[in-house]
Structure 1
């Protein structure tokens, strides 16, 4: 099932699609060699924006929720990818402990957790859920609107292992991005695999590190394809020690916004693009679309309302927002039912397993769509995105477009593997 899309696929994007199709064998070999040297994140999702003249990732999530938004057709791919991932980490694994987010009474999030259980159950694992919340003191059943249920249990720490009552797992899967910090109960585990690792959480992780790694990868990939890396890479800058309500750090922010807009204008002029450049100002760490705003001119920062300043003061779990990434804004020219849309690609191990369109009728082409009013149109990459269709005219084939999205998403996933290697506190450092 492919949603009906109205998309401006002209100019550079058509050329990029053709180049990717022509270079598919070299691309797949390039990825294969990269994965021989680097370990992919256990699972990930990537938000992509298609401007018609540019296609780029704008966010990479290493603790993806939303598995419930994928189609049933993706299940075989997801199960195969889960098997491959587990075999690498703990081949003899019988038990998998999933640690979800605190807000486990959200029915949509619960549906995501249940979908993860289905995937790993079919991959041959006993799956149970343990909560970091102090409110969960005994096994607690959660009901879903569709009639399904799941049981959340209190975590038990014994010596240097983590588990549940009568449940000792080989592997612990975090579906909690640690925005509120790293709980001591997760530290210093003995002979247990914690996935993703603690330094993948937002306590440590920074988007600027990710996009720095992505920038380098896009240059190498651009050289492989013979294209300008800018066509797949969002420019960015970063500021520390920001406080919007107090006005601290605004000079740094204003300077970087102005400089980045100038760089984008030069690129637009080079490609004859008649759009107004903009940047997205958002937390350098954190998710859920919180603390995000669109800026078209640095002067806008001088007249921010109190409401906007307050919105930009905290992120998820009430964490103060003090580090900012300024990212080149990438328009979305895709529509579903008249509403703007952006593809989100889901991966497990090194494989694309599915995706959906995030649709938001209340937002514009230059705004963050991960906001109230968002809905999801599932897309089965197993049918339409895994394999390109040769001989099709660029821009005319859904499978080719979605294959292209999968390539860009895998580039972002590779950048995440570079990023995690660079920030691993246990990595050996050689002089």
Structure 2
């Protein structure tokens, strides 16, 4: 079932969709050549915003949860993609160790873990769960909402390998984003494949590095398409010494907000867009929609109250915010049942396997939707989204619109590949 969407089907987005639909062979060949040179992350989810005049990724997650929000129709494609990934990484693989987040009592998160277990089990692997939680010292059953259970076990570390009792995996899959830091138990595992790699975790990763890589990808892709990269790329800048709790470094944020708003206004004028620009200020690392605020005028930052300062000063696992990315705000013109919505694209290996709409009835078109109160409307890209429908007019076909979302999702995934290569501490540097 394809959700009923209300979207702005006019302006440059129509031209962009038409251009992509006319260029499907060239686009797919371009991706194929890129993947000959670069390795995709094992799995990725990308938040996409469709403004009607531009379509851009605003966040790329390398430890995606939420697999339970995808339809069961996407499972065959996800299993095939998982098989393709495993064949490249460790063809003889038999055992997979999955390490989830430590807050594993959350039933919604647990159903996500169960879906990942299902995908990789059907891909031909024995999957068991190990935990970084030191309080779990014996196999422990965790209840799932439907009455099923998951068993989570304490990790056992030898000098060179990590596993469980009577379980030695070839590959270790992290579904823990390492916001709290890199645990010593995961370091020095040179005999096993650890995916994603440690430098993909939020203890090390920075959003500005990702969007720098995305800018490079967007320029290459836009050259192929003969278009302005801005139509698919959110502009950004950063501030590296900020303490919202103490109010220090706010001047840096104000200056950069003002400059970025000026750049956006010039682009809006160029394209005849009659909207008030805004920026999103958010922690340069971290997830879960924490440490984010919308700013429409730099003067707002002079008047932020204590509650907003507190919200901006700490993110997941109590980590303090000292660096922020200031990102061009991309309004969303999509609605489901009158509520503001944004598509989230899910990928395994280099394949789009599904997605959903994040919907929030209490948020505006210029606000972060990844917050309490959000709902999820699944969408099976497997049937309708990855393949474009030839001959349909732009905006007339849901599959064509979703194909475009899949292209932008894959561009962000490719950027993540560039990013991980550039930040790999073990990569050889040639001078």
Same fold by TM-score greater than 0.5? yes
Aligned residues: 431
Partner of 1:326: 326
Partners of 1:29 and 1:220 lie apart in 2 by 13
Partner of 1:299: 299
Contact 1:45–1:346 (Cα < 8 Å) also in 2: yes
Partner of 2:381: 381
Partners of 1:141 and 1:247 lie apart in 2 by 45
Q: Secondary structure at the match of 1:6?
A: coil
| Aligned ranges 1:226-375 → 2 under 5 Å | 226-375=226-375
1:352-382 Cα offsets, whole Å, 9 max, x none, are 0000000010111000000011010000001
Partners of 1:9 and 1:371 lie apart in 2 by 27
Partners of 2:401 and 2:383 lie apart in 1 by 13
**TM superposition shift of 1:309:** 0.4
Partners of 1:308 and 1:4 lie apart in 2 by 35
Partner of 1:62: 62
**TM superposition shift of 1:148:** 1.4
Contact 1:9–1:53 (Cα < 8 Å) also in 2: no
Partner of 1:419: 419
Q: Secondary structure at the match of 2:313?
A: coil
| Aligned ranges 1:32-111 → 2 under 5 Å | 32-111=32-111
Q: Secondary structure at the match of 2:97?
A: strand
Q: Secondary structure at the match of 1:248?
A: coil
Partner of 2:134: 134
**TM superposition shift of 1:136:** 0.8
* Runs of 4+ residues deviating >3 angstroms: none
**TM superposition shift of 1:109:** 0.2
Partner of 1:213: 213
Unmatched tracts of structure 1, length 5 or more: none
RMSD: 0.5
Unmatched tracts of structure 2, length 5 or more: none
Partner of 2:3: 3
Partners of 2:125 and 2:240 lie apart in 1 by 43
Partners of 1:50 and 1:387 lie apart in 2 by 19
**TM superposition shift of 1:78:** 0.3
Partners of 1:7 and 1:163 lie apart in 2 by 48
Partners of 1:235 and 1:386 lie apart in 2 by 27
Partners of 1:366 and 1:401 lie apart in 2 by 21
**TM superposition shift of 1:316:** 0.5
Contact 1:45–1:64 (Cα < 8 Å) also in 2: yes
TM-score by length of 1: 0.99
**TM superposition shift of 1:190:** 3.4
TM-score by length of 2: 0.99
Partners of 1:59 and 1:189 lie apart in 2 by 29
Partners of 1:430 and 1:367 lie apart in 2 by 43
| Aligned ranges 1:65-214 → 2 under 5 Å | 65-214=65-214
Q: Secondary structure at the match of 1:330?
A: coil
